[in-house]
Amino acid sequence: MNVMEKNMATAEEKMVQWDPTDVKAELLKKYPPKVARKRAKQILINEALENETPEITANVRTIPGIITMRGCTYAGCKGVIMGPTRDIVNLVHGPIGCSFYAWLTRRNQTDAGEDGEQYMNYCFSTDMQDSDIIFGGEKKLAAAIQEIYDLMHPKSITVFATCPVGLIGDDIHTVAKNMKEKLGDCNVFAFSCEGYKGVSQSAGHHIANNQIFRHLIGEDDTPREGKYRINLLGEYNIGGDGFEIDRILKKCGITCLATFSGNSTYDQFASAHQADLNAVMCHRSINYVADMLETKFGIPWIKVNFIGAHATAKSLRKIAAYFEDQELIDRVEEVIAEEMPQVEAAIADVRPRTEGKTAMLFVGGSRAHHYQELFRELGMKTISAGYEFAHRDDYEGRHVLPTLKVDADSRNIEEIEVEADEKRYRPRKSEEELKALEAAGLEFKEYRGLIPEMEEGTLVIDDLNQYEAEKLVELMKPDIFCAGIKEKYSIQKLGVPMKQLHSYDSGGPYAGFRGAVNFYHEIDRLVNSRVWSYMKAPWQENPQLSAAYVWE
Amino acid sequence: MLLRHTPKEISERKAVTINPAKTCQPIGAMYAALGIHGCLPHSHGSQGCCAYHRSTLTRHYKEPIPAATSSFTEGASVFGGQANLMQAFNNIFSVYNPDVIAVHTTCLSETIGDDLPQIRKKALREGKIPDGKYVICASTPSYVGSHVTGFSNMVKAMTEFSESTGKKNGRVNIIPGWVEPCDMEEIKRMCGLLGVKSILFPDTSGVLNAPLTGTYRMFPDGGTTMEELKATGDAVGTLALGQWCSADAARQLDKKNKVPATVLDMPFGLAATDRFVDALRTIAGVTVPDELLTERGQLVDMISDMHQYLYHRKVALAGDPDQLISMTEFLVSIDMLPVHIVTGTPGKKFEKRIREITADMPAEVNVKAKGDFFLLHQWIKNEPVDLLISNTYGKYIARDEDIPLVRWGFPILDRQGHQYFPTVGYKGGIRLLEKILTALLDRKDRDDEDKKFELVL
């Protein structure tokens, strides 16, 4: 049986129909009653309600003992948001582990040129010892900042709190403030991102972004050039995604002043307030920064998505529409016309081998939504999806924001009160202009979330855990499962290809046009790999021997 | 340059660690716990700790790493994590049904002072731990020692289950230390050749090098069983491989069950393997079979065959104390010059042992416990080497300084083989030698001018 026949055969086997209600019941069956009740609210069968998106519970505590995919607040702050900032020294105040595990493991690419400041290959830690836990670590922290400054003279040093720091009460913000004053030419600030705060990485994103907003944005008023100036918010340049988006923007003549925070520099953040539009990629990790930039500096924001070739084209058109300049509108169309043929050629090649296959995506706070675009372009259906750390608005859309309940965990995460900057607030568009653009179809401050874009009868599951993942794969038999490194090999042991959508399995970029082409080939490779046909040895497929073989 | 901000000039650092050559205790405890059959490791702390350890072990082994967490929130951090752990016991036994849960602490639960044995007692009293199931408790504060200490603490915690029936069972306990699953397998094979009946604990072979068959089993066949752990109390003796990784557990068995303990170096390289085999032979009262002697001879043969490429080549090393001690001895024994040696793990004894091993070596030696890769890199800038042996993080130095790199240690995130091809024992020595020679000779082939390029080496 060749590979194509084998694939056809498996496709037929998978015709076994599952009912989403049965699947949900099966997922909950083994749980103790309390756990089952809680999980039931986080597992949603996507049904068309009358003009209403069904409600899901999200951004709530993980259940102790249930093997979660989630990480901690520190991971969201240091790993996700600040990790890609190449010319800021990230100093972790705590025992060695937290710094070690976040050292070069997130695949944020950066281009510092031949001799630019580049600290991302380094790992800095105060390596707290038991004496520091007992007597306090503030002196050691101040000394560490001084030692780094003496060695490398960075323009900025940021400090990250780990769990014990909050417990012993080290005042990292005062240490940072004092050291900033002492050093004079080094911006030192700190993050209270202890791992136990919040319920997931999401709290860490918020803590990081608040401090960037407070200590960095608007620090540099030196005018920045560019006819169409935007910031790209929530793009972390995993596997070079940001490079591909930069290439496309540049080709269109759009100037990206700052990317938050892939391939970013200190100076980009410092002058981000000069942009005329904020384009938000990952709604979950950064929408509040977009809001704050609008309130303080008058920069409107729109949601974009550069994952998927058609989504990329759509996003470029949105940006062009915003600037209302025919020259840009025409240029964007030219670029799309130039880029799409390679995309269409790749789809034409790959799609016959991927059409009709099914995918599951459980990742991040945006990716489980964005990547459905790429699967759709391959003719594949997403039968179940969910986020690791998103909130209800990422599932149901921003219209639920006013109704979100503030619970004990979210109350602990600071919300910055922002007012219009006295000198620098400048509305980029008048009320009338904004209204006219909205009337023409451009939506500001809008994100509709994942649920409305998924088909009826699909399963949307928040904070999926190890047990449910395994059950889902057993019951629904997807052709591909997407999550992170911790999930990868237990899924693949089941004989189902697993694609990492955090680290891309060392692949990428997958954003933009060239990225889309990469992704099509990658999915083709995964779902059609010969390796999945090797699970059984030949003698296991025909185990009954009727007689001993006789050599002739 | 990847590490462009590392100056050649070395200045004293008292507060900042840069590019660590160690990580924290809990990951070692998690790895050790995976060597118990049917065991689910459990991290008593914030969920990020567990996520990081699972990710790192997964990247190293390319295998699923099941482990649960108490998922501390701010409330648990203030009021204690007892309720979280009790809930976790209940959920874990209901959903995953392991034979054993091995709980380790974190800096968070240690700082607030959670008492694991007390929580376990309460759980037992309240029926949260079903009959026939076990909970192992290890205290592993991240702000003491390193990942090696955490491994040692979890292995020591396993000895709590040893039982003395008063009758010796003729078996030899072997505590292998933090070595790869295949190394554990190799140690068992060598015991088999010698006819020694052993209890190896922990034993990750068959757990972290599992096959792909289309079925996922959270608890594969491998691992030391609880029955075996109980039987360690009746063993004729314990061989602890590695002072840092294994000695505490062996001493504990001696203290508790009067099982005599011998602490040996990890059997990497010729001399350390000789001592291991000799000790096994003595303790079990057996004769070393010809088969093992042949393997030894093959290793000696390869050293002599390729000696010209090894002689007086300088080597820099980073890793964990037990491994580095044996590796340094091996390198010295084949006339190489290990000149820069760092471990992140503390221990004055380490520097002393390295000084002893290298005492007669015709080169100055830099050695530091509680050191880091940043210091190692500075040493290399001042005194260049021909080879670097370290975990994957060494590749940034190797590329900047154009030095061949042999990946050995933990973690290895970018190459394969460490879970399958042992480096312990005589056969493992041949494997190590092969890796070292390949790195050196690949470099020679790359660097030799056309007119000097050779077919036969």
What would the pLDDT profile of A141-183 be if each residue is shown by its tens digit? 999 999 999 999 999 999 999 999 999 999 999 999 999 999 9
Tell me if B15 and A140 make a contact (CB, 8 A cut-off). yes
What was the pLDDT predicted at B361? 97
Give residues 195 to 234 of A whose Cβ lies within 8 Å of B. 195-197, 199
Chain A residues whose CB is inside 8 A of the B16 CB are 91, 124-127, 143-144, 147-148
pLDDT digits (tens, 9 = 90+) for A452-503: 999 999 999 999 999 999 999 999 999 999 999 999 999 999 999 999 999 9
**Does the distance separating the beta carbons of A140 and B96 come in below 8 Å?**
no
Q: Which residue of A has its CA nearest to B17?
A: A125
Predicted pLDDT of residue A16: 57
% of chain A surpassing 70 pLDDT: 95
* pLDDT score, position A227: 97
Q: How confident is the model at residue A104 (pLDDT cuts 50, 70, 90)?
A: very high
Confidence class of residue A49 from pLDDT cuts 50, 70 and 90? low
Instruction: Spot the catalytic one: A58, A75, A142, A385.
Output: A75
Across the interface, do B212 and A493 touch by the CB < 8 Å criterion?
yes
Domains and CATH numbers, chain A: 73-215 (3.40.50.1980)
Contact B142 A140 (CB under 8 A): no
Q: What is the pLDDT of residue A546?
A: 64
Q: With respect to residue B5, please indicate whether it lies within any of the assigned structural domains.
A: no
| Mean residue pLDDT across chain B | 97
**From A86, A106, A215, A283, active-site residue:** A106
pLDDT over 70 at A77, yes or no: yes
Examine the fold and report which residue of B158, B191, B218 is the final residue of a domain before the chain moves on.
B158
Of B18, B64, B107, the CB nearest to A123: B18
For residues B156 and B122, the answer to whether their CB atoms sit within 8 Å is: no
Average pLDDT for B127-153? 98
Interface touch A72/B58, C-beta < 8 Å: no
Chain B residues whose CB is inside 8 A of the A94 CB are 107
Among candidate residues B106, B123, B158, the one where a domain is terminated: B158
B42 CB neighbours in chain A (<8 A) are 65
Facing residue for A489 by CB, picked from B62, B112, B396? B62
**Angstrom distance (rounded) from CA A35 to CA A186:** 49
Which of the following is catalytic: A39, A86, A205, A398?
Answer: A205
Q: Which of A6-20, A385-399, B213-227, B406-420 comes out lowest in average pLDDT?
A: A6-20
Claim to verify: residue B322 and residue B231 sit in the same structural domain: no
Q: How far apart are CA B446 and CA B424, in angstroms?
A: 30
Number of separate domains in chain B: 3
Distance in Å, alpha carbon of A98 to nearest chain B alpha carbon: 8
In chain A, the percentage of residues whose pLDDT exceeds 90 is 91
Per 3-state DSSP, chain B is made up of helix, strand and coil in percentages (nearest 5) of: 45, 15, 40
Cα nearest neighbour of B103 on chain A: A65
Q: Are residues B255 and B308 in the same domain?
A: no
Whether residues B149 and B112 fall in one domain? yes
Which residues from A are below 8 Å from B96, CB to CB? Answer: 67, 467
Interface contact flag, A63 B111, Cβ < 8 Å: no
Domain span at B244: 172-289
Mean pLDDT score of chain A = 94
Do B262 and B391 fall into the same domain? no
Instruction: Name the minimum distance, in Å, from the CA of A1 to any CA of chain B.
Output: 19
Cβ distance of A63 and B91 shorter than 8 Å: yes
Residues B275 and B308 in one domain: no
CA dihedral over B294, B296, B299, B301, signed as positive or negative: negative
Tell me which of B43, B50, B142 to substitute to probe the interface with A (most A C-beta atoms closer than 10 Å).
B142
Q: Is the pTM of this model over 0.80?
A: yes
Instruction: Give B449 to chain A, closest Cα distance, Å.
Output: 28
- Clarify whether residues B333 and B440 are in a common domain: yes
Quick check: is A537 catalytic?
no
**Within a domain: residue B218?**
yes
Backbone angles phi, psi at A68, to 5 degrees: -90, 165
With an 8 Å Cβ cutoff, are B111 and A148 in contact? no
**Residue A149 structure tokens:** 């400054």
Rounded CA separation A518/A504 (Å): 11
Residue A548 predicted with pLDDT over 90: no
Give the percent of chain B with pLDDT over 70: 100
With a cut of 60, say whether residue A1 has pLDDT above it.
Answer: no
Same domain for B218 and B200: yes
Evaluate if residue A6 carries a pLDDT over 60: no
B55 contacts on A by Cβ (under 8 Å):
101, 105, 484-486
Judge whether residue A46 has pLDDT over 50: yes
Contact between chains at B5 and A117 (C-beta distance less than 8 A): yes
Q: Do you know the residue count of chain A? A: 552
Contact A201, A75 (CB under 8 A): yes
Answer yes or no: is B8 within a domain.
Answer: no
Size of interface A-B (CB pairs under 8 A): 260
Residue A487 · residue A83 · CB < 8 Å: no
B165 in a structural domain: no
Check whether residue B204 and residue B229 sit in a common domain: yes
pLDDT tops 70 at residue B439: yes
ipTM over 0.95: yes
B275 and B310 belong to one structural domain: no
Closest CA to B224 of B60, B421, B32: B32
CB contact under 8 A, A96 and B144: no
Q: Which of A38, A6, A48, A17 is nearest to A453 (CA)?
A: A48
Is residue B456 in a domain?
Answer: no
Residue of B390, B386, B384 lying closest to B371 (CA atoms) = B390
Which residues 101-160 of chain A have a CB within 8 Å of chain B?
101-105, 115, 117-119, 121-130, 132-133, 140-141, 143-144, 146-148, 150-152
Are residues B107 and B32 both part of a single domain? yes
Return the minimum-mean-pLDDT range out of A135-139, A352-356, A408-412, B291-295. A408-412
pLDDT of residue A9: 46
Of B158, B191, B222, the last residue of a domain is B158
b (16+ CB within 10 A) / e for A297-326? bbbbbbbbbbbbbbbbbebbebbbbbbeee
- Asked if residue B177 and residue B150 are part of one domain, the reply reads no
**Residue contact A147–B13, C-beta within 8 A:** yes
Is residue A466 within 8 angstroms of chain B, CB to CB? yes
Three-class secondary structure of residue B432 per DSSP: helix
Q: Which residues of A touch B20 (CB under 8 A)?
A: 96, 99-100, 103, 123, 125, 127
How much is the average pLDDT of A198-207? Answer: 96
Is A205 tagged catalytic? yes
Distance from CA of A175 to the nearest CA of B (A): 14
8 Å CB contact between A92 and A160: yes
The answer to whether the peptide bond before residue B43 is cis (omega within 30 degrees of 0) is no
Residues B62 and B54 sit within 8 Å (Cβ to Cβ): no
Cβ contacts of B51 on chain A, cutoff 8 Å: 68-72, 75, 486
Residue B80 has pLDDT above 90, yes or no: yes
pLDDT at A50: 63
What is the pLDDT averaged over residues A344-349? 98
Best residue of A163, A413, A490 to probe chain B, by most B CBs closer than 10 Å: A163
The 8 Å CB, 24+ separation contacts for A526-532 are A526/A480, A526/A497, A526/A499, A527/A353, A527/A354, A527/A357, A527/A479, A527/A480, A527/A497, A528/A3, A528/A7, A528/A353, A528/A354, A529/A497, A530/A3, A532/A495, A532/A496, A532/A497
Q: Does B414 lie in the same domain as B377?
A: yes
In a domain, B53, yes or no: yes
Residue A48: the pLDDT is 67
Q: Do B216 and A490 touch (CB under 8 A)?
A: yes
Query: A466 and B53: CB-CB below 8 Å?
Result: no
| Interface touch B91/A163, C-beta < 8 Å | no
Residue A118's CB: how many other CB atoms inside 10 A?
18
Query: Residue A12 — pLDDT band, cuts 50, 70, 90?
Result: very low
| CB spacing of A96 vs B20 below 8 angstroms | yes
Which pLDDT band, with edges at 50, 70 and 90, does A551 fall under? Answer: low
**Residue B428 near residue B185 (C-beta atoms within 8 A):** no
B308 confidence band (pLDDT: 50, 70, 90): very high
| CATH code (residue B68) | 3.40.50.1980
Q: Across the strands, what pairs with A302? A: A279
pLDDT value at B157 more than 80: yes
Q: Is residue B3 part of a domain?
A: no
**Min distance B310 CA to chain A CA atoms (Å):** 31
User: Quick check: is B313 in a domain?
Assistant: yes
Angstrom distance (rounded) from CA A154 to CA B438: 40
| Per-residue DSSP letter, B235 | -
